[in-house]
Amino acid sequence: MKIDLIPTICPYCGCGCGLNLVNVDGEIKGVEPWKRNPVNEGKLCPKGNFSYEFINHKERLKTPLIKENGQFREASWDEALNAIFRELKKIIDEDPDLVAFLSSARCTNEDNYVLQKFARAVIGTNNIDNCAALCHGPTVSGLNLTFGSGAMTNSIKDMEKADCIFIIGSNPLEQHPLIGRRILKAKAKGSKIIVADPRYTPTAKHADLFLPLTPGTDVALLNSMMQVILKEGLEDQDFIRTRTRDFEKLKKVIENYSPDSVEHITGISAAKIENAALIYGEAEKSSIVYCLGITEHIMGMDNVMSLANLTMLTGNIGREGTGLNPLRGQNNVQGVCDMGALPFLYPGYKKYVLDNVRADTEYEWNCGPLNFLPGLQMVEILEAAYDGRMKAMYIMGENPVFSEPETMKVKESLLNLETLIVQDIFLTETAELADFVLPATSWAEKNGTFTNTERRVQLVRKAADPPGQAMEDWRIFCQLAQVMNSSEMFPYRSEEDIFEEIRSITPQYKGITYQRLKADGMYWPCPDEDHPGTPILHGEKFATPHGLGVFKPIELRSLPETPDDDYPLILSTGRIIFHYHNSNMTGKSKILGNEISKSFVEINPKDALKLGVSNQEMVKIITRHGEIETKVKITSKITHGIIFLPIHFLDGKPNLLTNSKVLDPSTKMPELKALAAKIEKI
Ligand SMILES: Nc1nc2c(c(=O)[nH]1)N[C@H]1C(S)=C(S)[C@@H](COP(=O)(O)OP(=O)(O)OC[C@H]3O[C@@H](n4cnc5c(=O)[nH]c(N)nc54)[C@H](O)[C@@H]3O)O[C@H]1N2
Ligand SMILES: Nc1nc2c(c(=O)[nH]1)N[C@H]1C(S)=C(S)[C@@H](COP(=O)(O)OP(=O)(O)OC[C@H]3O[C@@H](n4cnc5c(=O)[nH]c(N)nc54)[C@H](O)[C@@H]3O)O[C@H]1N2
Ligand code: SF4
Ligand SMILES: [Mo]
C-alpha cells in the first residue's frame, strides 16, 4: 500500500483552510490536518473534513457530452471542441458581444485568468462575470467609492488583536467557521463581541451584546450609532482631518437618526443602540466583520458605505486589530475578481476604458485590438438571453439555474440561447440545459492558486488523477484556442507558466512566485520579489486617487417589499454549517447527509401559533414571485415576523421565491434577504 499526503486548500468557503489529502494507491481516501497552515492551524469544519467524499463519486462528469434531439451522447474532446468552434464562429462573425462567459469562484486563479483572456482576446467580448455579482458586488463598488479598494482590510489572524468585534449580517460560526474560531479566541482574550442579525445564530450566542434587528434597517442602526459616537466625542478628529474628506456631509445626515427615532424602525431599543455605539467607539481597536446580511439587499451598497463611514469616523482602519472586513464567500471569489473575470475590469482591477490599459494588454497578449465596449453583468446577461439579445453562453463552474433569482425565468433565458456550453464537474441543473457539457477536473486533481478572503494567495496541489477524460479548466480553453487558430496566445505548459503571466500584468501579484508561496502563501498587494506582502491595507493612505477616505452621507431606503395583509412575513434565505450552496458537493457526503439533507423553514413560535402549524408539518411558502413546499421548524431563535429558508436543498429551491426585476441600479444586486411572504397549510 502506498500512502501520500498532499497539502492543499479546502474547496469550499473563503477562509481558505489548508488540509492534507490522503492518496492511497492512487485514490483519495481522506483528509488529514495540515497543522502549520497559518489560516486554520490544522482545524477544519465539517465541510472541510469530508471534502474528499465527492471526488470519486460515480456521478462525476467523465467525457464531453453533446446534446442531440434532446438527449446527451458521449463525444471525444476533438469532436466536442470542433462542434463548439463551429457554433461560436457563426455567432462571433455576427457580433462577438452576442457571446457571454460566466467565470468561477470555485476554480483557480490560473483557470479564471485563462478564461477571461480567451473571452477578450479570442472571442472579443467583455461579457464576463462571476457569482460575486450576487454576493459581494456591493462591497467591491461601495468600498471602491469610500476606500478605493474593495478587499478585506485586515487579516484573519489580526482579528485576535481587536478589543471589539462588531459582526453585522454575518454568521461566521457557520459560514466561515475557521474565522469564527479566531473570533472566539479574541473573545477569550477579552474582546467584546457585538452581533447584529435578525436571527439568534450560533455566532450571536457568543455575543456580549446582541442586536436582533429588522432586516434591511442596518443604515438606520449605523447612522444612529454614529450620532451617539459624535455626541459622546468618541470620533477620531485627527483621523477625520488628515485622512478623509466630506465629513460635514455625513454629519448632516446622521443628525436625523437619534436612537429614540430609529427604535421602531430597527426593532432595537435606544439603550441597546447607545450601548453598541459606546462599546465600538470606546475600544482602542475595533474591527467590523460583515457578509451577506449587509450586501444581498437592493441597498447593499448603501449598507457597505455606511459601515465604511463608521470605520473612518472612529479611525478604526489601517492598524492592527481594526478594519472593515467583508468575509468573501467562495474559496476563490477574491481571486476570480483579481483575475479580471469582471465585465468592467481587466486583471488587477485595471480599467480597460482607458486607451493605455488596452494598448499595454494588447502588447502583453500579442493580440489584435481589444473590445472597449463595456461588458454586461450576470443578471443583464441573463436578461439579454431572455430577450434574444444574447446568443451563446459559456459557463464554467457556476450554477445559475439554482443560484440566480427567479429560477423559471433563468431556465427560459438559457433555453432561449442558440448555444449553451457548461463546464463543470457534475451534471448540474444548469448543465442539463446545455448543448455541450465539458468535464473539468476538481480541486483535488489540479494545481494552481486560490486567493482567500484575507487576500492570501495559496497553492492548490494535484493529489490524484482526474476521472475519465476530465481536463483542467484552463487546459480546455487552451485546446479550444488551438481549434480556433489562436494557440500562440496560450503557450502554457503548466499552471506556473500562467501564474508568471498573471504576475507580469497584475500589479498586486507582481512579487508573488510559486516558490515564495510554498511556505504559508502570501498576501497581496506584493509589489516586488523582496516585498513580504501586505496583511493590513490603508495604513498610511487610502487607495483612492487622492489617497483620502471619502465619507458618504447615506439615508435609509426602504426594502422593495414590506410585509402587508396579504404577505405578512419577511422571508430571508441563507446558509447552515453542513452544506454548501445547492449541496451538489456536500450532498454527496454520507456523513454530512446524515446531519441534514432536507429543506425546512424556521418560524418563530408566535407566528406558528397564529398560523396553526406544528413542528415538522409540510407547508407552502408563497411570495409574489412563486411558491415552494417545505417542512416547519419552530424556533425562538428567529425574530417574530421573519422566516428563514436555507438555500441548500433541491426539495425547497430558494430562488423559485425570489425576483430578478427589482435590482440595485448600480450593482444590479437583487433582494435575496427580505421578501414579503406568507405561509399556508397544505
Ligand atoms: N456552510 C456554508 N458556508 C458557506 C457557504 C455555504 O453555502 N454554506 N457559502 C459561502 C458563500 S458563497 C458566502 S457569500 C458566505 C455567506 O455567509 P453569510 O453571509 O454569513 O451567510 P448567510 O446565511 O447567507 O447570511 C448571513 C446572516 O445575515 C443575516 N441577515 C439577513 N438579513 C439581514 C439584514 O438585513 N441585516 C443584518 N444585519 N443581517 C441580516 C442572516 O440572518 C444570516 O444570519 O458563506 C460562505 N460559506
Ligand atoms: N436566494 C439566494 N440565492 C443565492 C444566495 C442566497 O443567499 N440566497 N447566495 C448567492 C451567493 S452569495 C453565491 S456565491 C451564489 C453561488 O452560486 P454558484 O456560483 O452558481 O454556486 P455553486 O454551487 O458554488 O456553483 C459552482 C459550480 O461549480 C462547480 N465546480 C466546482 N469545482 C469546479 C471546478 O474545479 N471546475 C469547474 N468547471 N466547476 C467546478 C460545482 O459543481 C458547481 O456546479 O449563489 C447566490 N444565490
Ligand atoms: S472553514 Fe471553510 S475553508 Fe475551512 S474547512 Fe470549513 S469550509 Fe473549508
Ligand atoms: Mo457568495
- Consecutive 10-residue runs of the chain (682 residues): their mean pLDDT? 96 98 95 94 96 95 97 98 97 98 98 98 97 91 94 96 98 98 98 97 98 97 98 98 98 97 97 98 98 97 98 98 97 97 95 95 95 95 97 98 96 98 98 98 98 98 97 98 96 97 97 94 97 96 96 95 95 97 94 95 97 97 97 96 96 95 89 97 94
* Ligand closest to CA 174: 1
Which pLDDT score, from 0 to 100, does residue 258 have?
A: 98
Are 217 and 357 part of one and the same domain?
no
- Asked, for residue 547, whether it belongs to a domain, the answer is no
Q: What are the grid coordinates assigned to 415, written together? A: 433555453
Closest residue by Cα to atom 46, ligand 1, is 329
- Asked, for residue 497, whether it belongs to a domain, the answer is no
Last residue of a domain, one of 301, 326, 351: 326
Rounded CA Rg of the chain: 24
Are 380 and 295 part of one and the same domain?
no
Are 255 and 292 part of one and the same domain?
yes
**Is the shortest distance between the CB of 31 and ligand 1 below 6 Å?**
no
203 HSE (CA, 13 A, CB side): 34
How far, in Å, is the centroid of ligand 4 from the Cα of 581?
A: 9
**Of the residues 8, 9, 12, which should be mutated to test ligand 3's pocket, given the most ligand atoms within 8 Å of the CB?**
12
How far, in Å, is the centroid of ligand 3 from the Cα of 575?
A: 14
Distance CA 98, CA 94 (A): 8
**Of the residues 47, 211, 575, 578, which should be mutated to test ligand 1's pocket, given the most ligand atoms within 8 Å of the CB?**
575
Distance CA 133, CA 26 (A): 38
- Asked, for residue 625, whether it belongs to a domain, the answer is yes
- Asked, for residue 287, whether it belongs to a domain, the answer is yes
- Asked, for residue 519, whether it belongs to a domain, the answer is no
Are 118 and 162 part of one and the same domain?
no
Q: Name every residue whose Cβ is closer than 8 Å to that of residue 476 and which is 6 or more positions away in sequence.
A: 423, 438, 440
Please identify every residue whose CB atom is under 5 Å from ligand 4, which is an ion.
135, 329
Are 190 and 282 part of one and the same domain?
yes
- Asked, for residue 676, whether it belongs to a domain, the answer is yes
**Is the shortest distance between the CB of 197 and ligand 1 below 6 Å?**
yes
Are 199 and 304 part of one and the same domain?
yes
Cite the DSSP H helix spans in 159-200.
Answer: 172-175, 177-188
Are 310 and 233 part of one and the same domain?
yes
How far, in Å, is the centroid of ligand 3 from the Cα of 450?
A: 13
**Residue pointed to by grid coordinates 447607545:** 274
Are 101 and 160 part of one and the same domain?
no
Are 278 and 181 part of one and the same domain?
yes
Instruction: Domain of residue 471: give its range.
Output: 65-134+331-442+463-483
- Asked, for residue 448, whether it belongs to a domain, the answer is no
Which pLDDT score, from 0 to 100, does residue 133 have?
A: 84
**Is the shortest distance between the CB of 175 and ligand 1 below 6 Å?**
yes
Are 640 and 654 part of one and the same domain?
yes
- DSSP letters, 13-62, are BTT--EEEEEEETTEEEEEEE-TT-TTTTT---HHHHTTTTTTT-TTS--
Last residue of a domain, one of 326, 343, 373: 326
Report the DSSP pairing between strands 71-74 and 65-68. antiparallel
**Is the shortest distance between the CB of 639 and ligand 1 below 6 Å?**
no
Q: What is the total count of domains within the chain?
A: 4
**Is the shortest distance between the CB of 196 and ligand 1 below 6 Å?**
yes
Which pLDDT score, from 0 to 100, does residue 616 have?
A: 96
